[in-house]
Every structure is written in C-alpha cells, then in structure tokens.
C-alpha cells in the first residue's frame, strides 16, 4: 500500500518540474520564432544557449520519475501519471531542441528578411505554439477535452507544412535567387511540423493519464472506440506570430 | 438458508482455523450509503467461452450471528489461474475464502445463503460431505503451521489418514517437488519440520496440502509472515502450482497480488466491487473505489 501523503508530495514535486519545463520550452519557442521573424541574431543565440538548461531539467525530471517508481511502486492513475511524465518530458525536451534548431536558421534568414513572410510559416508557428500552450494547460488541469483539441489541430499544421513545402519548392523551380534561404525555410517548416507533433504527443499522454486510453496508432489497435472522435475545431490560434507580419 | 451448528466432524487436513478475527467481522452489517460504483450483478470478467469455471459463486451471503459479512457475492474462478482477493480489513475476503471449503461452518452461529459450485457440484448440498470438500479444496494459512513431526510425516499424514494406498514415498517426493522444497530437504526428510526456516515451513505446508491431491488450493496471506526472500520463493511456487491447480489467494500485499495473480477481485464491506484481469485492475480499474483503494487513497 503506497504511503499516500509521501507519494502525493513526490507527485506534486514532479508536476511542478514538468510545469517549469513546459514554461521554459514555451519561452524558447517564442524566442526562436521572434528571432526568425525579426532577424534577431542575438536573440537566436540566447535561445541556443538556454537549451542546456532544458536538457538539465529533462535529466532532473527523469530522476524524479525513477525515484517515485522505485520507492512507491505506483499503480493505476498514479502509474499512468508516471508513464505520462516520462514521455512528455522527452517531448518537451525535443521541442526545446527544435527551438534551438529554428534559432540556428536566424542568421541565414537575415539575408532575405521578407521571404519568410511570403510563406505560411508564421501561421504554422502560431498554430504550433497554440498547440503547445493548450497541451501544457491540458496537463496542468488534467483536461482531456482540451487535450483532444490539441490532437485535432495537428492535422492543420501538417497541411500547412505540405503547403509551405510546395510553395518553397515552387520558388526553387522558378529559379529564385535565394535558394539557400529557401532551403533553410524548409528546415524551419519541418521543425514547426515536428513541434506540433510533439505537442500532440503531450496531449495524447494527457488523455492516457486521465482516461487510461491510448490514442496512439489507432490503426493497429483492435479496440477502436468511436468515442475517440475528435471535437471540431472552433477555437482560433493565438495569431501571435502572424500579427507581427 | 442453512444455519451452522457446531460440528464434530473436524477435517483431517488442514487444521481447524482460528475463530474469525475481529478485523474480519464487519462492524455494521449494511453499508451506510448507496455507492455510485455498486458492482453489477456479475462482476466476473468475461472468460474464454470454452473454459468452464472451476468455482461458481452465486449470490453468496454470509453472517456471523447478525453481522452480514458477505452480501451477495457472485463471481467465477477460472481453472489453472491464480485469483487474488483484495480489500481493506473487514471487507470479507478471508470470510469468502473460508466459505470456499466450508471452513466457516466450524464457527458457531454462522449462516450462509447462496451457492458455491466446484466443477458444477454444490459444496453446500445436503448430501455433500464437508470432509470431501476440504480434500478437494485445500487450504494454506497465514502462519506456517507444520505438525511437530518429521518433514516426511507432515507431508504423508493427510494422505495416509485418508487411506492413501499408493507409494507414499513417491507422493511425498512429488508433493515436495511441487512445493519447490524437495532439493532443500531431500536429505533430511526424517528430521523435525520445526527445524526448517519460516519460508521452508510454509512451503512444507503447501506440500502437505498438495499431498491430499486437491483441485483447488486456497491461501490466506501465505507470505505475510515471511521475509522477502522466502516470500519470493513462495510466490514462485504459487506461479508454478497454477499449471496443475486452481489457486485463490487472499493478500493484503497489493504488489504481491499484482505479481502473482491472473485475476483480482476487490471486495469492500462485504460486496464484490470489481473483478478483472489483474493487469487491468492495477492499471485501469473500472470503479473509482477500486482505484482509490489500489492507489492507497483509502483503506
């Protein structure tokens, strides 16, 4: 039988660490996108430098998960919380890596400041950041419906990525003189698409924790449940990055 | 309904149980409130349709005098599986276990309603001999209770008193091997069983139970008095035994239940709240009350 008060303290501490991680990653994302949009190389370097702190936090969260698993042998919702924590910890750290990669493109994009705004990348960044923030809120509030909205939104980011890809390839085919910048924009698009994937993963983990239902890889699961249909999208994204354009 | 009076036909094996402990007697016969997670009429998990349950328990009620200790338990126990009964003290899990081989009727003033079938046979039918029931449904107790005799005599005793005419040496060896004790005691079979360690004594008691060739083995917290290494050996033994026997185990140790059982039944205040495959019950319990219990939020 778990020592409930001790386990509750450990779990609260873990949640606090994950919330800290989510906040830091969110700030990194904002910094990375602003660096790209404004061609701010100094800001980009700050984002790259701050990634070490996120890596360190990932290790600390994993240690806390290991400690709870070893000392408390949690079951049921507590066990699902631990499984979720390990997974979303990795997702947040990977988002941090993508933010670092995004920032490394800033110097190259500074050579063609208007090109980025001719693409759907600012819109992609808006939607990805909305997904990240909503996934974080879903985690903090144990809100499975909010999590499911995040999951649904990923399809839109994927479509924007495909659209951006076609636009950029078209520019190259038309003999655009900034081919190198276009190549960097392709990596930016891919990073944004991957960030939204990780935000979706976080949301899926939240649903797993709350409902005990695994939403991943539905095609290969044999217990397809019609109740897992996603709600329609009716909430706009923040528009933070598109407003700046 | 059958009211049990004191009886003289004490079973040959295992020894008579101690009277119901205080913590098993539910202080109030009825729950104080209607729970939102009242179990369905049959909370048993869906079983393979081709496999007949070893035990059918249907609407089982049990009273210690006015104390309504079991209140309509309906569940099936599958053959060659380990079924764990869990729940807080006083929930009725040991009472239920002892109903399965008519041990409770040795206690004065108890009353039982409902049916328990073993392989389709009503063990409480008027023409059913309780001694035969206890031979088919053996029991291992919380504390190792070997007789103050040799290891060999401990194992052979039950079979011999039941008129076993086969090769007793072979029976003793087979039973000790099944209980995973043979290699440790084969050179000291004729020394006192009381010289064995606690874990060895408990496995000897398991061997003694197996020697009368039961179909079902009931275990009431068989490892609670043992250290972790002895516990591990008893658990390994239980896992081995399910190839040949159906096992029902009462345990307060949730991790033990999750380690060794195939199905787990959670009882609360004399009712079966949930019975499900163990991996489901400990990861995605259906009932809020089950989740609260297995995560330590109450009980």
Span A124-172, pLDDT tens digits? 999 999 999 999 999 999 999 999 999 999 999 999 999 999 999 999 9
The answer to whether residue B99 scores a pLDDT higher than 70 is: yes
Q: What is the mean pLDDT of residues B98-124?
A: 94
The answer to whether B296 contacts A73, with C-beta atoms less than 8 Å apart, is: no
Helices A179-211 and A76-104 sit at what angle, rounded to 10 degrees? 170
Domain that holds residue A100: 4-217
Contact, A111 vs A178, CB < 8 A?
yes
Return d(Cα B16, Cα B35) in angstroms, integer.
Answer: 36
Find the radius of gyration of the CA atoms of chain B. 19
The answer to whether A77 contacts B295, with C-beta atoms less than 8 Å apart, is: yes
Q: To the nearest whole angstrom, how far is the Cα of B284 from the nearest Cα of chain A?
A: 6
pTM assigned to the model: 0.76
Asked, for residue A149, whether it belongs to a domain, the answer is yes
pLDDT in tens, A40-50: 999 999 999 99
- Give how many domains chain A has, as a whole number: 1
The answer to whether residue B86 scores a pLDDT higher than 60 is: yes
Contact, A28 vs A51, CB < 8 A?
yes
DSSP state of A177: S
Q: How confident is the model at residue B106 (pLDDT cuts 50, 70, 90)?
A: confident
Three-state DSSP state, B128: coil
With contacts defined as CB-CB under 8 Å, which chain A residues touch B46?
none
Q: How confident is the model at residue B20 (pLDDT cuts 50, 70, 90)?
A: very low
Beta bridge partner(s), residue B61: B71, B113
Q: How confident is the model at residue A236 (pLDDT cuts 50, 70, 90)?
A: low
Asked, for residue A230, whether it belongs to a domain, the answer is no
Prediction ipTM score: 0.70
**What CATH number is given to the structural domain containing A189?**
1.20.58.220
Asked, for residue A226, whether it belongs to a domain, the answer is no
Q: To the nearest whole angstrom, how far is the Cα of A73 from the nearest Cα of chain B?
A: 8
Asked, for residue A48, whether it belongs to a domain, the answer is yes
Contact, A169 vs A226, CB < 8 A?
no
Return d(Cα A3, Cα A52) in angstroms, integer.
Answer: 35
The minimal CB distance from A4 to the residues B258, B283, B297 is found for B297
The minimal CB distance from B283 to the residues A1, A7, A76 is found for A76
Q: How confident is the model at residue B164 (pLDDT cuts 50, 70, 90)?
A: confident
Q: How confident is the model at residue A121 (pLDDT cuts 50, 70, 90)?
A: very high
Q: How confident is the model at residue B163 (pLDDT cuts 50, 70, 90)?
A: confident
Q: How confident is the model at residue A221 (pLDDT cuts 50, 70, 90)?
A: confident
With contacts defined as CB-CB under 8 Å, which chain A residues touch B221?
none
Q: Which residue on chain A is closest to B88 by alpha carbon?
A: A1
Instruction: Name every residue whose Cβ is closer than 8 Å to that of residue B163 and which is 6 or more positions away in sequence.
Output: none
The answer to whether A77 contacts B291, with C-beta atoms less than 8 Å apart, is: yes
- Across chain B, what does the average pLDDT equal? 85
Asked, for residue A235, whether it belongs to a domain, the answer is no
Give me the pLDDT at residue B241, please.
93
Asked, for residue A124, whether it belongs to a domain, the answer is yes
Instruction: Name every residue whose Cβ is closer than 8 Å to that of residue B58 and which is 6 or more positions away in sequence.
Output: B74, B114, B115, B116, B117
Q: How confident is the model at residue A217 (pLDDT cuts 50, 70, 90)?
A: confident
Asked, for residue A234, whether it belongs to a domain, the answer is no
The answer to whether B295 contacts A80, with C-beta atoms less than 8 Å apart, is: no
């Amino acid at each position: 039988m778990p020592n409930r008060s001790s386990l509750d303290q450990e779990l609260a501490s873990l949640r606090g660490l994950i919330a800290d991680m989510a906040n830091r990653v969110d700030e990194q994302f904002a910094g990375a996108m602003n660096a790209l949009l404004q061609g701010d190389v100094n800001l980009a370097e700050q984002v790259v430098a701050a990634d070490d702190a996120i890596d360190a936090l990932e290790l600390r969260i994993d240690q806390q998960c290991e400690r709870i698993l070893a000392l408390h042998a949690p079951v049921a919702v507590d066990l699902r919380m631990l499984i979720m924590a390990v997974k979303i910890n990795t997702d947040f750290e990977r988002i941090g890596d993508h933010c670092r990669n995004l920032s490394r493109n800033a110097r190259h994009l500074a050579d063609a400041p208007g090109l980025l705004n001719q693409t759907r990348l600012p819109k992609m960044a808006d939607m990805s950041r909305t997904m990240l923030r909503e996934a974080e809120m879903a985690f903090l509030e144990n809100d499975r419906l909010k999590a499911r909205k995040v999951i649904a939104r990923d399809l839109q980011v994927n479509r924007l990525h495909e659209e951006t890809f076609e636009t950029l390839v078209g520019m190259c085919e038309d003999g655009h003189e900034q081919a190198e910048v276009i190549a960097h924009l392709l990596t930016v698009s891919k990073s944004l698409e991957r960030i939204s994937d990780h935000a979706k993963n976080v949301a899926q983990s939240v649903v797993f924790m709350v409902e005990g239902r695994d939403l991943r890889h539905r095609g290969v699961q044999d217990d397809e449940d019609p109740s897992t249909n996603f709600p329609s999208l009716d909430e706009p994204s923040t528009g933070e990055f598109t407003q700046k354009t | 309904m059958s009211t049990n009076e004191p009886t003289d036909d004490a079973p040959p094996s295992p020894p008579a149980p101690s009277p119901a402990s205080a913590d098993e007697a539910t202080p109030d016969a009825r729950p104080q409130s209607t729970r939102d997670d009242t179990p369905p009429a049959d909370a048993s998990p869906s079983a393979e349709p081709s496999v007949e349950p070893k035990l059918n328990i249907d609407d089982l009620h049990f009273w210690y005098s006015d104390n309504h200790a079991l209140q309509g338990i309906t569940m099936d126990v599958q053959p060659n599986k380990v079924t764990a009964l869990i729940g807080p003290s006083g929930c009725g899990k040991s009472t239920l276990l002892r109903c399965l081989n008519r041990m409770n009727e040795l206690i004065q003033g108890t009353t039982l309603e409902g049916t328990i079938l073993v392989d389709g046979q009503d063990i409480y039918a008027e023409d059913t001999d309780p001694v035969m029931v206890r031979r088919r449904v053996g029991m291992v107790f919380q504390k190792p209770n070997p007789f103050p005799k040799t290891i060999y005599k401990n194992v052979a005793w039950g079979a011999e008193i039941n008129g076993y005419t086969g090769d007793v040496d072979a029976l003793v060896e087979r039973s000790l091997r099944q209980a995973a004790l043979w290699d440790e005691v084969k050179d000291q079979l004729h020394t006192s069983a009381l010289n064995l360690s606690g874990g060895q004594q408990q496995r000897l008691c398991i061997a003694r139970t197996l020697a009368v060739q039961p179909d079902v083995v009931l275990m009431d917290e068989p490892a609670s008095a043992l250290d972790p290494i002895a516990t591990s050996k008893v658990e390994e033994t239980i896992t081995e035994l399910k190839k040949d026997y159906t096992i029902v185990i009462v345990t307060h140790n949730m991790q033990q239940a999750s380690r060794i059982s195939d199905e787990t039944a959670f009882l609360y205040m004399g009712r079966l709240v949930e019975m499900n495959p163990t991996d489901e019950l400990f990861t995605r319990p259906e009932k809020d009350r089950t989740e609260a219990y297995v995560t330590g939020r109450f009980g």
